Homo-oligomer: A and B are copies of this chain.
Amino acid sequence: MAVRQKESAGAARAGAARPVKERLLRVATRLFARNGFEGTSVQDIVDAAGVTKGAMYHYYGSKDDLLYEVYHQLLTMQTTRLNEIVKGSGTPEERLRAAAIDVVVSSLDNLDDMIVFFRSLHMLPEDRQTAIRAERRVYHDQFKALVEEGMADGTFHTEVPADIVVHFYLSAVNQIGAWFRPGGPLTPAQVGEEYSKLLLGGLQA
């Protein structure tokens, strides 16, 4: 009992400033990334957040809700950023390069979320998966529009359908958590640079 009190006190000290709801999502994301969605119990989450189960169920309707929230926030953020790039100025090639770099950098900046995303999506109930996939489709289509612009103006060849190009590139980015190690020799920006080179090189007319 002494231990619990100490933990609670410690957790409270460490993150009491941050509101409980946000803290819960943050620690849940970290735990899901480390141990998987199924490997993380609600008890693990509330212990790490320094609150009790009742508190969690006050803010989130279920464990699934937490997972959904991780997805939703990541997707919203990335879609917003892509939107700005798509609508920005510059040639299609310049804007595609910017988008290709940005998706890598923003993914590596939120690596835990990415890892959770591609590991645990299938654990959500069917309707939630459908919702997520629809959001994801919007992102895919915006990216594809950039590729098609470049094909239309002759910057890129048209040997490979734009849909496949986008699947190919976003797949590579999605799996990035499988090999990238923060603190390793490469920065997120460098990886973005290299990845975008490989994409654009493969599209040159």
Contact = CB atoms under 8 A, between A and B. Distances in A.
Given A118-B175, A119-B119, A175-B175, A168 B38 contact: no
Given A178-B174, A201-B204, A202-B202, A164 B194 contact: yes
A205 to B, nearest CB: 10
A171 B179 CA distance: 9
Protomer copies: 4
A199 B202 contact: yes
Interface in A140-162: 157, 159-161
A51 B38 CA distance: 27
Contact of A123 (B39, B171, B172, B194): B39
A18 interface: no
A197 B165 CA distance: 10
Interface of A: 35-36, 38-39, 118-119, 122-123, 157, 159-161, 164-165, 167-169, 171-176, 178-179, 186, 191, 194-195, 197-204
Contact of A164 (B157, B191, B200, B204): B191
Nearest to A164: B194
A191 B164 CA distance: 8
Contact of A36 (B122, B171, B173): B122
A194 B162 CA distance: 11
Contacts of A164: 186, 191, 194-195, 198
Contact of A176 (B39, B171, B197, B202): B171
Listed residue (A174, A175, A176, A200) with the most chain B CB atoms within 10 angstroms of its CB: A175
Contacts of A36: 38, 122-123
A191 B171 CA distance: 14
Contacts of A122: 35-36, 39, 119
Contacts of A171: 171-176, 178-179
B195 A179 contact: no
Contacts of A173: 171
